A and B are shown apart, each in its own frame.
Chain A
Amino acid sequence: MTLAEMNFFQRMLYILERYSGSLLRGAATTMAIAIICTALGCVIGFAVGLVQTIEPKKKDGLFKRGLLKVVKAILTAYVEVFRGTPMMLQAAFIYYGASSLFNINLGMWTAAIIIVSINTGAYMAETVRGGILSVDPGQKEGARAIGLSQSQSMMLVILPQALRNVMPQIGNNLIINIKDTCVLSIIGTVELFFTFRSISGALYTYFEAATITMIIYFILTFACSRILRWVESKMDGPSNFDLATTDMLAFTSGLTKYDEKKGGTH
């Protein structure tokens, strides 16, 4: 039976039989790039967002204030440029720019990771800035008041709470990255979308190949969103807000027995 004589499902099965290896490799590449780049993007985002929220102190000299201003301006430019241009063009710009201007031939992986990471970083920077600003200022005052330094307060008290605040956005970025790695096909990265194009190009079965590839993309993103939701609920701890008490006489509504071992109310 030739491909033309098959029906839709038979063609899908045919593609799966012949190309399941390539599809899996493509999916793995896509996931690897998405996860690595979201992680690196978060690191960039936290660093940039952190600097953006530094307020100059009165005591600081002119040099320190000036330096902070210049660094902030550069970071703002970075955020605006990478948020404001298509990633597909950024990919072409960096990949071909590196080879024609500096004679550097970025490998497929290096180029892909650099591009998606700095793109994610630009989005995360703003998210992190918002996450830090949304932590109650009293938390910082509490930390400074017992003698923790500026950086200790940030690392031990503010950032962990900001991280919880931005978790939904990190998940969002991971899912966007899973899908958006498809633009890397412009520089020849063999990820899932590239695999789709190869299959559809070889067999002229666009509809069937697109269906299979879409299903794979959806499985990847859906699984990630569920996993991240689970991580968030783990970070939150028990979901009830009842007050803890060990006093059985005060054991009325709104109060639950406090469990010493579990540290919560159950």
Chain B
Amino acid sequence: MEEILKIEHLVKDFGNNKVLKDIDFSVNKGDVISIIGSSGSGKSTLLRCINMLEDATGGSILYHGKDILKGEVNEDAYRTRVGMVFQSFNLFNNYTVLDNCILGQTHALKRNKTEAKAKAMQYLTKVGMDQYINAKPRQLSGGQKQRVAIARALSMDPEVLLFDEPTSALDPEMVGEVLDVMSNLARTGMTMLVVTHEMAFARDISSRVMFMSDGKIEEEGSPKEIFYNPKSERTKEFLSRFTNG
């Protein structure tokens, strides 16, 4: 299986606060990895380090064998290959839905406008937002914004998509539409790394689940192993809060 990302001994400190302590794992093509765990366990920081939005303090992140932390890959080019979807959507407020999906293609990938537009339309249709191409982000509901954000990330044809709690800022009734889009993506073979509090999604859609606790990967395995036969006490405790609550 083709290995896209390999994270080795990744460490991240914020001052004296050690947020990530020696993280090791790899992402293979087609993997759908859910990262679960309590707030403050370092899940989002891990994702932000992988996308270089945070500078890791130590360790290495290998992208096809090249260490991005040592600058062996151009930062901007790397980010076009490893997309990110945020909790707070971060759509560009000054552009329409369509232009949000075109901007990165024409400026970072140097695609021509026609090709970029066709690509954007293809993915906006896929997430069911093709009717809203001329709307500005502020006219959309949270769920619609997140679907556009996913289409924007997909338009770059990335190898891996990182999702940072994509449904946490949404009203309960809108969570479903975003999860549907993500499930469809997972089925089409998109490589995904999803930080989530949606246990049903982690259990049913992902190929692997990582439980993070206190800056470390406490337990890793198939959804079956993690959800029905967790080995670590911490994992058991964390999951019991979801099944009993």
Contacts and interface: CB of A to CB of B under 8 A. Distances in A.
Interface of A: 58-59, 136, 138-139, 141-149, 152, 156-157, 160-161, 164, 237, 241-244, 246, 258, 260-265
B96 interface: yes
B79 A264 contact: no
A234 to B, nearest CB: 14
Contact of A157 (B83, B92, B139, B156): B92
B163 to A, nearest CB: 12
Given A141-B53, A260-B131, A146 B86 contact: no
Contacts of B55: 58
Contacts of B108: 146-149, 152
B151 to A, nearest CB: 11
Nearest to B155: A146
A154 to B, nearest CB: 12
Contacts of B80: 146-147
B118 interface: no
B134 to A, nearest CB: 3
A145 B53 contact: yes
Contacts, number: 100
Nearest to B108: A147
28 contacts: A136-B93, A138-B86, A138-B88, A139-B93, A142-B86, A142-B149, A143-B92, A145-B83, A146-B80, A146-B153, A146-B156, A147-B76, A147-B109, A147-B156, A148-B76, A148-B103, A149-B108, A152-B108, A157-B103, A161-B93, A164-B94, A243-B139, A244-B139, A246-B132, A262-B134, A263-B133, A263-B134, A264-B134
B53 A144 contact: yes
Q: Of B80, B93, B149, which is in contact with the most chain A CB atoms at under 10 Å from its CB?
A: B93
B135 A258 contact: yes
Interface class of chain B by DSSP: loop
Q: How large is the interface on B (under 10, 10 to 19, 20 to 34, 35 or more residues)?
A: 35 or more
B83 A243 contact: no
Interface string B81-101: 001101011111110100000
Nearest to B149: A142
A243 B53 contact: no
A122 to B, nearest CB: 27
Contacts of A261: 134
B216 interface: no
Contacts of A152: 107-108
Nearest to A246: B131
B139 A147 contact: no
Given A149-B108, A263-B135, 20 more contacts: A58-B55, A59-B71, A136-B90, A136-B93, A138-B86, A139-B90, A139-B92, A142-B86, A142-B92, A145-B51, A146-B152, A148-B104, A152-B107, A152-B108, A156-B103, A156-B107, A157-B103, A164-B94, A246-B132, A264-B136
